[in-house]
């Protein structure tokens, strides 16, 4: 097969590309330039897809003896990931830019161009597995739970999965990947993993958003609507936050209060007791199926729901109703916010996902 290896400059994508070459595929390496800032450099393990990373990816490609290219996806990245991130915060939601990048850039824009150029598949260093099931190709968790990345791939559709290759899915430990990179003589063997939001490499998300969104003073209210404090910008608050509220009116029971909701239209932040963070139901109209959809999506089906990349899945039932994927949680989850992604599983198999538009608290307002 003709395989396009997406090479981030890290050890995972490097070993994935090496395995694709070793399997006999015709492999071409490509690095995605997601920023036009010429001086952008990686800060230790913060950020990714920088000039330094592209140079590392080129060195790996040279070592593997494969052609290498850098594709400028900075405009698409700005529109589909950065602008979306800003818009979501303006709307009072908490987005996951890595999910959007996988959906819009790595497995949409990249895959579209790869197919146009005659490639059969895109190879990445994600830890997930593909299994041929009775109703077609299925996306499953990797063999290593701690590293499993099927959650961030939950946005992939059946058509996209048909052109994906995840060579690391069966590798039980990240240490084995680093050891393999060392044996292969790849200079990225000991390179630290990237973390944090790649376009905010200094980690100051609040400061970055203040610059992009602006600050406007507003009210902090309790669940009854009573004003208990003020804020300088609603974008600085996320559901579940406790610190930095600076409330002028203490709770009647003297217990700490947490952010329950951000209301961008009224520029209000709603706070309440920790118990009120428990969510019994969530729903979203932006949903997709990873492979074959349930036979009858409108009939409630059992599943496990996961709302964070490293979160624990909880038993749930889901159904499509009035254009939404509605998920009822058997065990309430805390700190779930609109804008996050809920990925549904059947055992190790990814069923689908939705971007959360609304949640229903397990604790009534009167409680």
Classify domain 2-125+167-183 by CATH architecture. 3-Layer(aba) Sandwich (3.40)
Residue 147 scores a pLDDT above 60: yes
* Per-residue pLDDT band at 344 (split at 50, 70, 90): very high
**What integer pLDDT is reported at residue 196 of this predicted model?**
66
**What integer pLDDT is reported at residue 114 of this predicted model?**
95
Residue 366 scores a pLDDT above 60: no
Q: Which two tokens stand for residue 244?
A: 């930095």
**What integer pLDDT is reported at residue 44 of this predicted model?**
47
pLDDT, tens digit, for every residue of 201-212? Answer: 777 787 888 788
**What integer pLDDT is reported at residue 146 of this predicted model?**
64
Residue 11, C-beta contacts closer than 8 angstroms, at least 6 positions apart: 125, 177, 178, 181, 186, 188, 189, 190, 191
pLDDT, tens digit, for every residue of 180-199? Answer: 999 999 999 999 887 667 78
- For 292-314, what is the mean pLDDT? 94
**What integer pLDDT is reported at residue 120 of this predicted model?**
97
- For 119-133, what is the mean pLDDT? 96
Residue 163 scores a pLDDT above 90: yes
Identify the weakest region by mean pLDDT among 202-206, 207-211, 214-218, 228-232.
202-206
pLDDT, tens digit, for every residue of 91-108? Answer: 878 888 888 888 889 888
Phi, psi for 135 (deg, rounded to 5) = -115, 25
Measured at the CA of 332, the angle between CA 241 and CA 242, to 5 degrees, comes to: 10
Helix (H, G, I), strand (E, B) or coil at 20: helix
Q: Which two tokens stand for residue 87?
A: 């818009």
**What integer pLDDT is reported at residue 267 of this predicted model?**
87
- For 218-234, what is the mean pLDDT? 89
Residue from 317, 98, 93 nearest 198 by CA: 98
pLDDT, tens digit, for every residue of 72-87? Answer: 988 999 999 999 999 8
Output the pTM of the full model: 0.87
Classify domain 215-272 by CATH architecture. Roll (2.30)
What is the rounded average pLDDT for all residues in the chain? 89
Residue from 48, 57, 68, 46 nearest 13 by CA: 57
Residue from 174, 214, 179, 186 nearest 86 by CA: 214
- For 224-243, what is the mean pLDDT? 87
Residue 230 scores a pLDDT above 80: yes
Q: Which residue has better confidence, 64 or 143?
A: 64
pLDDT, tens digit, for every residue of 16-71? Answer: 999 999 999 999 999 998 876 544 444 444 456 677 889 999 999 999 999 999 99
Instruction: Report the share of the chain in percent with pLDDT over 90.
Output: 61
* Residues forming the active site: 101, 198
Domain ranges of the chain: 2-125+167-183, 215-272
- For 327-342, what is the mean pLDDT? 92
Q: Which two tokens stand for residue 354?
A: 């939705």
Task: State the pairing for strand pair 227-231/218-221.
Answer: antiparallel
- CA-CA distance, 235 to 231, in Å (whole number)? 10
* Per-residue pLDDT band at 244 (split at 50, 70, 90): confident
* Per-residue pLDDT band at 142 (split at 50, 70, 90): very high
């Amino acid at each position: 097969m003709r395989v396009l290896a997406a090479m981030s400059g890290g050890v995972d994508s490097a070993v994935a590309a090496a395995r694709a070459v070793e399997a006999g595929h015709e492999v071409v390496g490509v690095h995605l330039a997601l920023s036009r800032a010429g001086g952008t450099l990686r800060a230790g393990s913060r950020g990714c897809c920088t000039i330094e990373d592209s140079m590392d990816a080129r060195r790996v490609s040279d070592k593997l003896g494969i052609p290498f290219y850098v594709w400028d996806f900075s405009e698409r990245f700005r529109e589909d990931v950065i602008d979306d991130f800003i818009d979501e915060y303006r709307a009072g939601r908490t987005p996951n830019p890595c999910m959007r990048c996988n959906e819009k850039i790595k497995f949409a824009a990249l895959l579209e161009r790869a197919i146009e150029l005659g490639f059969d598949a895109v190879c990445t260093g994600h830890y997930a597995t593909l299994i041929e099931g009775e109703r077609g190709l299925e996306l499953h968790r990797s063999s290593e739970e701690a590293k499993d990345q099927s959650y961030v791939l939950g946005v992939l559709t059946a058509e996209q999965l048909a052109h994906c290759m995840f060579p690391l899915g069966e590798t039980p430990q990240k240490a084995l990947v680093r050891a393999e990179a060392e044996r292969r003589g790849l200079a990225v063997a000991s390179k630290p993993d990237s973390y944090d939001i790649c376009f905010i490499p200094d980690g100051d998300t609040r400061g970055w958003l203040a610059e992009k969104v602006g600050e406007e003073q507003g009210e902090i209210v309790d669940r009854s609507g009573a004003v208990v404090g003020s804020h300088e910008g609603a974008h600085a608050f996320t559901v579940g936050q406790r610190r930095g509220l600076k409330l002028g009116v203490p709770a009647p029971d003297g217990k700490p209060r947490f952010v329950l909701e951000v209301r961008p239209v009224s520029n209000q932040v709603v706070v309440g007791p920790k118990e009120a963070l428990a969510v019994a139901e969530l729903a979203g109209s932006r949903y997709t199926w990873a492979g074959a959809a349930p036979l009858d999506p409108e009939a409630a089906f059992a599943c496990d729901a996961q709302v964070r990349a490293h979160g624990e899945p909880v038993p749930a039932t889901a159904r499509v109703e009035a254009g939404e994927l509605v998920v009822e949680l058997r065990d309430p989850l805390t700190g779930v916010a609109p804008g996050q992604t809920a990925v549904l599983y059947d055992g190790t198999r990814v069923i689908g996902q939705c971007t959360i538009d609304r949640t229903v608290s397990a604790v009534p307002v009167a409680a």
